[in-house]
Amino acid sequence: MRAALLLTIFCASCSADPAEPMPACIELTQSCAPLYEPRFDEIHKRTLLPTCAQGGASCHSAEGKRGGLILEDIDGAYDALVDGGRVIPKDAPCSELIVRTHQGGKDWSMPPRRPLSAEERCVLRLWVEQGAAR
């Protein structure tokens, strides 16, 4: 019995690698081409709402609220991102929103099903770099 328990513990410790932690900051390329003007009202309407928050069971809808983040309401979305510390104005490489949307293929990448296009990511990045104004 004890040998079986030790074997189970040993095998469990050798199994799949733990999930890769999200980096605090990433390196961004020098320039990018935005899909539209980097204003929060446009970002909310064109990217956050349709990609992250529409539909009752969406990850960041009032019903889904994954990670405690609700993006349905524009004012609440802004507060959750900026006041909630997920966006650091003028510091895109270290803003959680940018890190999660710019690093595809990770457990913590967002959105999980369909990564944003380079142009959509650019809009988010420029908005943050320009101070994340409401």
Q: What is the pLDDT of residue 33?
A: 92
For the cut 70, the answer to whether the pLDDT of residue 11 exceeds it is no
> Is residue 122 over pLDDT 70?
yes
Confidence of residue 18 (pLDDT cuts 50, 70, 90): low
pLDDT category of residue 30 using cuts at 50, 70 and 90: confident
Residue 46's pLDDT band (boundaries 50, 70, 90)? very high
pLDDT for res 17: 45
Choice among 10-14, 52-56, 73-77, 98-102 with the minimum mean pLDDT: 10-14
Mean pLDDT (whole number) for 65-92: 96
3-state secondary structure the chain: CHHHHHHHHHHHHCCCCCCCCCCCCCCCCCCCCCCCCCCHHHHHHHHHHHHHHCCCCCCCCCCCCHHHCCCCCHHHHHHHHHHCCCCCCCCHHHCHHHHHHHCCCCCCCCCCCCCCCHHHHHHHHHHHHCCCCC
pLDDT at 105 exceeding the cut of 90: no
